Each structure stands twice: as structure tokens, then as C-alpha cells.
């Protein structure tokens, strides 16, 4: 079985992290974002994944070689030379997605994190016998998104309504599709929107069905949602593979610690924290609701909450970092400094406190 992951563009919403690596390679819960998806696909028997990209192919290709070997799955790139929207990339990758088997193929949006119940989706797709299946997820504020209006029993999709002013439903497109090869015949090689042009066409023919996504869903393409997403993901881990989470008297709630990270005495870590490879957390540190990327050193008595600390950064002694502070790669916060929501670009030193949210270039 095959799959296409829509990786798309520059990841500007996740800057400054994406100034150092392309978005799919930004770590989430100690694993590159795209690896979560590739692993889920492999688990249901996908043998080839095509990444639809338009940016930094060299960096992606290097990463892929490493993971192709480890996961024993074929990974290729399909590179857009001009932006093709959300459907065009499928046409571009056509030859890679169709084979003689006639099997349907998955399409995933790379910004999405969820439980990936792909096996259930395959069964759902076989059950209704239609041309395309999409996952939808229930949200509190549907008007921010595109709402999928569907009939409840079979999940047959009636229509899509973009950012509806009045309530028409609370299910939105979760960015996970399972499509028959015939869908490719509906897509021309030009900038095309799958939600606005392709799916409505299939819906009219009563061949598009939606399955409500069980479990959590988050678009982690921006820092605030990334932090919320980590909470949901760790919660999921706790219910399904709690052995992966850290335990101990200095751990509160769900905490993920890489085996090569070191945590000193007198620390209090959690809830909802991920600590990456090679990190050093010195004694007396408090961490909550934050991600600490590879190679970071947090010095004694520091306190960090609701923030993301980028690769190889350091946080000084008694520093306090909170309220959506996002540090890029190689950022060094001096001792005793306070950061309230600073967004700091790579290779910087923060020597004095930042009391109001500010971008430091």
C-alpha cells in the first residue's frame, strides 16, 4: 500500500524552529514530526511513502535515507516547482501512487498529530464501498475551519462549508484521507484545492464518506498548538503505552524523557514535558508544559513553563522562562534572566530580562 504526505512549504508559523530545520523534521515528543506519521503508516502495511515537498529537498533527502534503513519502508520525494495547492501534488506524484494492485492510498497532512487509527479507516473504506474516505474531528470552534456536513449513520458527506458564519456542524477535515486511485483522474496537474474542488465533486456523486476520528487531533503547525498537542499526545501515551513515560518522585503527570538525558536531584518535572536526547537538567530545576529539544542544558534552580527550548540552547541558573517563550537553535539565556513570551531567533544570547512578549532577531 502507498501513502502521500503533504509536506508543503516553508513552515513560517513554526519559526524560529523552522529557521534551523524544515518543518517535518522539527521534533515533537522527541521524534521528528513526520516520523510519527511514517511509523503509523508502516504499522498498517504501507510499503512506500511519497513526501510532497517544495522546500529544502536536500535536507529532507538526507534524513530519509537514514529512516528508510531503520524502518524498512521506501520513502521518496515529489518536489513541486510551483505551489500546487492541496490536490495538485497528488497529480504530480501520480506515477508513484498508482500500481497494478488498484489499492487505495493514504494522504496525510504533515502538520497533524493524532492517534492515526488507520486500520479502522481501511475497514471503514471497504465497508462503504465509495471512492474516498476522510477523517473528520470534532472541534469546539468550527467556524475557524472548513466544516464537513455529513449524514450521521453511514458518514456520507453532503458538503463542505468554509468558515461558516452560522452553525452547520462541528466536524472539520482532519487532514487524513484514504483514496481510490480513480480520484487521481479527477485532479489536473495545476494548483488545485482538494477541499474546494475535488471532494465536493466526489460528494455530489455520493461517493465521499467521513469517519469521525477517535481520540485526539491537533494541527501543531504553530507554537501554541504544538504545546497543547504535546499534552494530548502524552495523555494518549499514558493510556496506551505508559511504560514510555517517566516515573519517579520528581515526576508529576505525563513526562517523556529520552534515555540519554540526565536529570539532577531536587528537580520537579511535569506535567506535559518532553526532554530530548543528550539534555542535561541540573539540580533544582522546575519544568512544566514544555519541550526541551536535543542537547539543551538547563542550569540549576531554573524554572520553565509553557515554552519550547530549541536544540543546543542553554538556560542560566535561576532563569525563569514562561508564557510561550520559543527559543530557536543555540540560544543562551543568561543567569537570573526572566523571559515572558520572548521569541528568539537562532544563535542569540539573552543577557537581560524580557518582560513583555517580543521577537528577538
Candidates 154-162, 224-232, 252-260, 340-348; binding stretch for other proteins (CB under 8 A)? 340-348
Among 57, 118, 120, 53, which residue's Cα sits nearest to residue 92?
53
Choice between 9 and 266, CB closer to other proteins: 9
Q: Cα–chain-centroid distance for residue 228?
A: 11
359 binds other proteins (CB under 8 A): yes
* Residue in the structure block whose three cell numbers are 534503513: 69
Query: Which of 234, 267, 293, 345 contacts other proteins by CB under 8 A?
Result: 345
Q: Where are the alpha helices (DSSP H) in the chain?
A: 33-43, 57-71, 88-92, 94-97, 118-128, 199-204, 223-240
**Least CB distance from residue 359 to other proteins, whole Å?**
4
Q: Tell me whether residue 82 is exposed, middle or buried, using C-beta atoms within 10 angstroms of its C-beta: 0 to 12, 13 to 18, 19 or more.
A: exposed
The only residue of 144, 239, 347, 351 in contact with other proteins, by rule CB under 8 A = 347
CA distance 350 to 13: 22
Structure letter (DSSP) for residue 214: P
Closest approach, Cβ 187 to other proteins, in A, equals 24
Closest separation between CB of residue 316 and other proteins, Å? 18
Give the C-alpha separation, 260 to 82, whole Å.
42
Nearest residue (CB) to other proteins, 55 versus 318 = 55
Using the minimum distance from each CB to other proteins, give the nearer residue, 256 or 343.
Answer: 343
Contact (Cβ atoms closer than 8 angstroms) between residue 106 and residue 177: yes
Residue number with CB closer to other proteins (16 or 130):
16
State in angstroms the smallest separation of the CB of 66 from other proteins: 24
Distance, in Å, from the CA atom of 34 to the CA atom of 272, rounded to the nearest integer, reads 21
Distance separating alpha carbons of residues 268 and 282, to the nearest angstrom: 11
User: Measured from the CB of residue 147, what is the shortest distance to other proteins in angstroms?
Assistant: 23
Contact 330, 313 (CB under 8 A): yes
The correct pick among 60, 256, 343, 354 for binding other proteins (CB under 8 A) is 343
Cα→Cα distances 16→65, 122, 133, Å? 26, 37, 35
Task: Find, among 113, 210, 119, the residue nearest to 171 by Cα.
Answer: 210
Which of positions 115-144 make contact with other proteins (CB under 8 A)?
A: none
CB-wise, 11 or 130, nearer to other proteins? 11
Neighbours of 327 (CB within 10 A): 32
Cβ nearer to other proteins, comparing 16 with 88: 16
Distances (CA, A) of 118 to 98, 169, 208, 235, 330: 19, 24, 17, 19, 38
Positive or negative torsion for Cα 3, 8, 12, 15: positive
Q: How far is the CB of 291 from other proteins (least distance, A)?
A: 18
Output the smallest distance, CB 329 to other proteins, in A.
11
Among 10, 216, 236, 318, binds other proteins (CB under 8 A): 10
Among 2, 348, 350, 354, binds other proteins (CB under 8 A): 348
Within 12-51, which residues bind other proteins (CB under 8 A)?
12, 15-16, 19
Residue among 83 and 127 whose Cβ is closer to other proteins:
83
Site string for other proteins, 191-230 (x = CB under 8 A): ----------------------------------------
Q: How far is the CB of 348 from other proteins (least distance, A)?
A: 6
Residues of the shown chain interacting with other proteins in the complex, contacts defined by CB under 8 A: 9-10, 12, 15-16, 19, 343, 345, 347-348, 359, 361
Amino acid at each position: 500500500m502507498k501513502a502521500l504526505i503533504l509536506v508543503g512549504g516553508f513552515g513560517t508559523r513554526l519559526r524560529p524552529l523552522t529557521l534551523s530545520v524544515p518543518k517535518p523534521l522539527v521534533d515533537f515528543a522527541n521524534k521528528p514530526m513526520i516520523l510519527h506519521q511514517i511509523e503509523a503508516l508502516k504499522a498498517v502495511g504501507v510499503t512506500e511513502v511519497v513526501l510532497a515537498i517544495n522546500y529544502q529537498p536536500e535536507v529532507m533527502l538526507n534524513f530519509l535515507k537514514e529512516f528508510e534503513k531503520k524502518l524498512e519502508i521506501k520513502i521518496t520525494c515529489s518536489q513541486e516547482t510551483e505551489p500546487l495547492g492541496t490536490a495538485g501534488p497528488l497529480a504530480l506524484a501520480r506515477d508513484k501512487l498508482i500500481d497494478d494492485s488498484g489499492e487505495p492510498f493514504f494522504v496525510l497532512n504533515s502538520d497533524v498529530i493524532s492517534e492515526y487509527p488507520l486500520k479502522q479507516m481501511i475497514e471503514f473504506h471497504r465497508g462503504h464501498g465509495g471512492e474516498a474516505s476522510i477523517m473528520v474531528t470534532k472541534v469546539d470552534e468550527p467556524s475557524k475551519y472548513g466544516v464537513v456536513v455529513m449524514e450521521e449513520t453511514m458518514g456520507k458527506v453532503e458538503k463542505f462549508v468554509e468558515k461558516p458564519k452560522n452553525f452547520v456542524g462541528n466536524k472539520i477535515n482532519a487532514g487524513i484521507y484514504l483514496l481510490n486511485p480513480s480520484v487521481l483522474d479527477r485532479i489536473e496537474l495545476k494548483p488545485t484545492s482538494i477541499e474546494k474542488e475535488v471532494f465536493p465533486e466526489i460528494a455530489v456523486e455520493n461517493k465521499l464518506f467521513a469517519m469521525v476520528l477517535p481520540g485526539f487531533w491537533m494541527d501543531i503547525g504553530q507554537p501554541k498548538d504544538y504545546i497543547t498537542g504535546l499534552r494530548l499526545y502524552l495523555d494518549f501515551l499514558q493510556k496506551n503505552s505508559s511504560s514510555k513515560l517517566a516515573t519517579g518522585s520528581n515526576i508529576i503527570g505525563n513526562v517523556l524523557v529520552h534515555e540519554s538525558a540526565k536529570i539532577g536531584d531536587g528537580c520537579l518535572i511535569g506535567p506535559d514535558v518532553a526532554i530530548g536526547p543528550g539534555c542535561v537538567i541540573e539540580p533544582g530545576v522546575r519544568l512544566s508544559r514544555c519541550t526541551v529539544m536535543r542537547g539543551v542544558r538547563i542550569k540549576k534552580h531554573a524554572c520553565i513553563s509553557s515554552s519550547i527550548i530549541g536544540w543546543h540552547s542553554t538556560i542560566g541558573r535561576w532563569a525563569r522562562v514562561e508564557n510561550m517563550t520559543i527559543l530557536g537553535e543555540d540560544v543562551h539565556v543568561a543567569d537570573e534572566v526572566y523571559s515572558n513570551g520572548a521569541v528568539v531567533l537562532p544563535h542569540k544570547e539573552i543577557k537581560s530580562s524580557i518582560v513583555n512578549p517580543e521577537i528577538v532577531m
